A and B are shown apart, each in its own frame.
Chain A
Amino acid sequence: MKIELKNICKTFNKQSNTINNLDMTINDGEFVALVGPSGCGKSTTMLMIAGIYKPTSGNLYFDGQLVNDLEPKDRNIGMVFQSYALYPHMTVLDNIAFPLKQQKVPKEERYERAKNAADMVHLGHLLDRKPSQLSGGQQQRVALARAIVKKPKVLLLDEPMSNLDARLKIEMREEISRIQKELGITAIMVTHDQEEAMTTADRVAIMKEGELIQYSSPMELYNRPKNYFVAQFIGNPPMNFLKSQLAVKDGKCQFYINDTTVDLNNHLPKIKSHNSIKDIYAGIRPYDLKLGQKGDITLDGVVSLVEPTGHSKMVNVKVGDDRIRFFADPLQKIERGSKITLTASISSIHLFDCESGENLTAETIGEGQDNKLVINS
């Protein structure tokens, strides 16, 4: 089912909009991840799609049909609530079978299907327990089974795996993806786990303070963050930022990192004034930094912390007044307090306006990568 949100606003109190002019389309069979800081309105958006909350203004369409006033029970939706919302007096089996009971599925078939759903989330052995006798992760899986048991048209998952261990998380993730693809369900998932969002979703929507900031494929989000907020939000560990200045003079652009002057060779379409100096953040992802001096730019710093992560080492480096992170080979000897030199290619650098947060490089780098940026130091 195709879901369209058109200019949706939601207000709980008169002072401010919790959701502000949200415009978003989720295509039929698409898997969308909804991410954003706590309190930005993710759950509110989900509850509006579910029909629990009515939008204060704006329209919601399912397959082109206006559904603002359609009751939740008529929307054919499966939902995992952030707080699970299991029925406390029912057993696990009855909880899972509840949506089927409402559809008047005959008893035998109902329990059969409920059992299958329970097996799928590895809860086959706990069918007779009450929710209060389950662990948090088990409760969450009951909620998951309950959401998918009726094979809904739309699946709304509000942090469905926040309480699971790493292995179970991956398993459940794959299971959800499989079911979603198999049945062609349109799914929206709220998550605080970026890896989860990036790996499962076709598209990722980033929200901030009730507004949609960027809505695009995971790769694009990673490679072309629209602004500073997205850049520092997406990626784990987060992007490194170095305070810097961008100078535009006679149509020529330069910026300075450390002692390096980087020449952008006229290509910065997002800058309007032709003679100016701007404060900017230069962003480099930890994975794009290497030890050595072979790249386009180099950074000198002092190691302040080394954290082994198993397959590599995460190293904290102090460069000037900024702290940056990068990954080093686990066999490499790096010691706290030692001086090192890092390098990166110019194409991996993102420039953000300090004031507006706008990504100043996005379009230039996005189009043809390296050939448009020439280093000249």
Chain B
Amino acid sequence: MKKSKFLINGMRKHSLPWLMLAPFLILIVIFFFLPIILIAVNAFTDMDSALQWTFNGIDNFKKMLLDPNMPEILKNTFIYVFFTLAINVLFGLVLGLLTSYFIQKESVGLLFRTIWMLPRISPPVVYVLLWLWFFDPSPYGILNSLRALVDLPPGEWLSSNPKTAIVLANGMIGASFGMIIFSSAIKSIPENLFQAAKVDGASQWSIIQDIIIPAIRWPLMFVTMWQLLSLLTSYEYILLLTGGGPMVESEVLSLYSYHKAFESFEYGYGSAVSLVLVVIALGFSAIIWKVFGMKKMMGTSRVE
């Protein structure tokens, strides 16, 4: 009796916040949780183009273990994510430093940043077209024309170095994200810290290492984590650039799941691959959360 009264009181007390949150919560459930649940369920069926749910236990996962393409795809995924992430973060950092620390003139820095942002705001198809043109195997491709200038023979880059191509294309476009975050973080470092460091005898390198990097360590971690997760799960540039080929040489896990589901219509198997991806992503998030103390980062805003 007493307890139920207490509950009702509590509900009444918090009814307004719940009411306000409701639309948002419903959206989250529909667009974030439902897909994951659907994938999770689907992964245990052998749904195909007939769109019929027939549960088949862990057959999909057994199949995955035996899939001859799997080792190469996992290796590709690792290589692709690792190197692209490195380019994303390091190149983003270099660009951020260049446009907001070394170029002191705000207008010039802004111009540079805007130029680097262009690929972001242009449709992926256009961006990839540029890269296709760059790597074009004909003598008129940009890279081959450049090589012709120094008398080198043209090459078929997309088929001979597909992984390099996808890493470069994704690395370049991803760097602009880090650049924006880093340069605003660098801009927020009080000017007098740089002045003090200079008076204290610090070289440029030491200023970067001892003043800038520690000041932007939270943005650094955030960008690393964000990019890691998005690289694990996104595939549109690879799809457009190499389509995962030749054979499976540039195929990564997320693209494989797409191919399985939407090209061979093995919805069940594709979902199983996706589920593995979700688990991997969750695993990485947990590790990063632990290692870098994301709790501290999300907990209090650190204005230092």
Contact = CB atoms under 8 A, between A and B. Distances in A.
Interface of A: 47, 50-52, 71-73, 75-79, 81, 83, 85-90, 98-99, 102-103, 132, 146, 150
A25 B210 CA distance: 36
Interface in B208-248: 210-211, 214-215, 217
B202 A87 contact: no
7 contacts: A85-B192, A85-B193, A87-B193, A87-B196, A99-B200, A102-B202, A103-B201
B195 interface: yes
A87 B211 contact: yes
A45 to B, nearest CB: 14
Contacts of A102: 200-203, 206
Nearest to B214: A89
B198 interface: yes
A79 B210 contact: no
B199 interface: yes
B299 interface: no
A327 to B, nearest CB: 41
Contacts of B199: 50-52, 72-73, 75, 77-79
**Which residue, of A47, A50, A89, has the highest number of chain B Cβ atoms within 10 A?**
A89
A102 B201 CA distance: 6
Interface of B: 190, 192-193, 195-203, 206, 210-211, 214-215, 217, 304
A71 B215 contact: no
A51 to B, nearest CB: 7
Contacts of B196: 79, 81, 85-87
Nearest to B202: A102
Contacts of A47: 195
A227 B203 CA distance: 46
A85 B201 contact: no
B217 to A, nearest CB: 8
Given A87-B193, A102-B203, 7 more contacts: A72-B199, A73-B200, A81-B192, A83-B192, A88-B304, A89-B217, A90-B210
B215 A85 contact: no
A252 to B, nearest CB: 58
Contact of A89 (B190, B195, B304): B304
Nearest to A83: B192
Given A81-B192, A85-B193, A87-B193, A98 B200 contact: yes
A129 B284 CA distance: 33
Contacts of B190: 83, 85
B219 to A, nearest CB: 14
Contacts of A79: 196, 199
Nearest to B196: A85
B198 A52 contact: yes
A313 to B, nearest CB: 44
Contacts of A98: 197, 200, 202, 210
Contacts of A73: 198-203
Contacts of B215: 88-89
A79 to B, nearest CB: 5
A296 to B, nearest CB: 53
Contact of B210 (A51, A83, A86, A87): A87
Contacts of B304: 88-89, 132
A72 B203 CA distance: 10
A375 B192 CA distance: 57
A73 B196 CA distance: 10
Nearest to B215: A89
Contact of B195 (A85, A86, A88, A150): A85
A335 B215 CA distance: 61
Contact of A52 (B195, B203, B206): B195
A150 B201 CA distance: 10
Contacts of B206: 102
Given A87-B210, A87-B211, A146 B198 contact: no
Nearest to B203: A73
Contacts of A72: 195, 198-199
A279 to B, nearest CB: 46
Contacts of B214: 89-90
Contacts of B203: 73, 102
Nearest to A82: B192
Contacts of A52: 195, 198-199
Contacts of A77: 199
Nearest to A99: B200
Contacts of A86: 196
Contacts of A90: 210, 214
B187 to A, nearest CB: 16
A79 B304 CA distance: 21
A102 B210 CA distance: 11
A206 B121 CA distance: 57
Candidate in A88, A99, A103, A132 with the most chain B CB atoms within 10 angstroms = A88
Given A87-B210, A87-B211, A132-B304, A146 B200 contact: yes
A99 B198 CA distance: 10
The 8 A-B residue pairs with the shortest CB-CB distance in the complex, in nearest-first order: A102-B201, A85-B196, A85-B192, A89-B214, A72-B198, A88-B304, A99-B200, A73-B201
A260 B267 CA distance: 111
A231 B210 CA distance: 47
A88 B217 CA distance: 13
